[in-house]
Amino acid sequence: MPSNLHPMLNVAIKAARAAGAIINRAALDVEAVRVSVKQTNDFVTEIDQAAEAAIIETLLTAYPGHGILAEESGSEHGAKDSEFVWIIDPLDGTTNFIHGFPVYCVSIALAVKGKIEQAVVYDPTRNDLFCATRGRGAYLNDRRIRVAKRTRLQECLISTGFPYRPGDRLKPYLNMLGEIMSQCAGVRRPGAAALDLAYVAAGYSDGFFEIGLKPWDVAAGSLLVTEAGGLIGNLTGEADFMDHGECLAGNPRIYGQMVTTLAKYSKFAGAAQKMQVAHAVERSGDRPVVDGAEEEAEPAPAADTSAASPPARTLTRARKIPAAGPKL
């Protein structure tokens, strides 16, 4: 960890470790943890709430004039009109936690005038602390981290998250998964988006995509990725993605290739791209299509990146690989 940490980042680290201590104590007897159901397959525990309370207390003690946006309590704490807003997920990966599956984390980010400036993702099971300050790089514990250097999607390990709530776009997602699976070396679904993004930043995986996300799922991880040299946006490559409910991240070359494959599945895709997806869903029913299953399908068009951030547009144009076809 750099010796000259930003004071606000130091406070965020203190808050994350306090939450991590609560989570680790509870993990010793996870069967005793009270669990509530927010909606089907969407859980909250007393530990989520206790960890969130500890984070908010730490942050507002240091900065009482700041705002709060937290997964469990929303914006009910902190100042309502501050330019400084802490975005908090006290336990990302609650379903993993309540089953004793040790993949979950604490995520804390600070947005200043809408731009993420500080980020902490803390994995209490491994005592791994990922942190970043805008313009100062990303770190894992005491070392600087960078995104992976692979340049071909077929060599890459990609992480994702599965739809799990009623009404989620399951059929399009299965098609997305089928296309990516046919083009990469492997796909993983760890179950904690903030940690997935931290792993992209550290080079443990080469890319990540998921739909149905909230700002607290991706706020801290987004800064880790960009400070580690990666790109992050929505499925069409737009950098202003925080409230879009979809996320795609990777090193610059892999990001461009994933945008080419997945842009047509975005809510922000053009009409022709959306029609292509609709036809593919109709053909495939409930089955994801894997490589070779639709040999006569026409190649998918390149992603429409007209609204993308300049780096994403340039990289997508510079490196286009043929999509495997409109597979679902």
Instruction: List, in order, residues 6 or more apart from 97 with CB less than 8 Å away.
Output: 23, 27, 30, 45, 47, 91, 104
Residue 59 exposed, middle or buried by CB count within 10 Å (0-12, 13-18, 19+): buried
Percent of the chain with pLDDT over 90: 68
Beta strands 138-140; 143-145: pairing state: antiparallel
Nearest Cα neighbor of 302 from 294, 293, 313, 291 is 313
**Which two structure tokens, joined as six digits, stand for 181?**
């699976």
pLDDT at 91 exceeding the cut of 90: yes
Predicted confidence at residue 35, as pLDDT, reads 86
Rounded to the nearest 5°, which phi and psi values hold at 295? -65, -25
Predicted confidence at residue 279, as pLDDT, reads 65
- Residue recorded with tokens 């894997």: 290
pLDDT band at residue 304 under the 50/70/90 scheme? very low
Higher pLDDT, 39 or 62: 62
Q: Please give the CATH topology (third level) of the domain spanning 153-318.
A: D-Maltodextrin-Binding Protein; domain 2 (3.40.190)
Mean pLDDT of the chain: 85
Instruction: List, in order, residues 6 or more apart from 251 with CB less than 8 Å away.
Output: 147, 148, 149, 150, 200, 206, 207, 229, 230, 231
* Residue ranges covered by each domain of the chain: 7-145, 153-318
pLDDT in tens, 207-219: 999 998 999 999 9
Strands (E), the chain: 35-39, 42-45, 67-70, 84-92, 105-112, 115-123, 128-133, 138-140, 143-145, 157-160, 186-188, 207-211, 231-233, 246-250
Instruction: List, in order, residues 6 or more apart from 165 with CB less than 8 Å away.
Output: 39, 40, 41, 42, 212
Q: Which residues pair with 129 in a beta bridge?
A: 122
Residue 297 exposed, middle or buried by CB count within 10 Å (0-12, 13-18, 19+): middle
The verdict on domain 7-145 having CATH code 3.20.20.70 is no
Distance separating alpha carbons of residues 209 and 303, to the nearest angstrom: 15
Q: What's the predicted TM-score (pTM) here?
A: 0.82
Nearest Cα neighbor of 183 from 209, 204, 149, 218 is 209
Predicted confidence at residue 252, as pLDDT, reads 95
pLDDT band at residue 224 under the 50/70/90 scheme? very high
pLDDT at 45 exceeding the cut of 90: no
Distance separating alpha carbons of residues 76 and 97, to the nearest angstrom: 26
Average pLDDT score over residue span 88-104: 95
pLDDT at 193 exceeding the cut of 80: yes
Distance from first CA to last CA of the chain, Å, rounded? 44
Average pLDDT score over residue span 301-316: 40
Higher pLDDT, 286 or 154: 154
Predicted confidence at residue 81, as pLDDT, reads 93
- Residue recorded with tokens 């309590």: 73
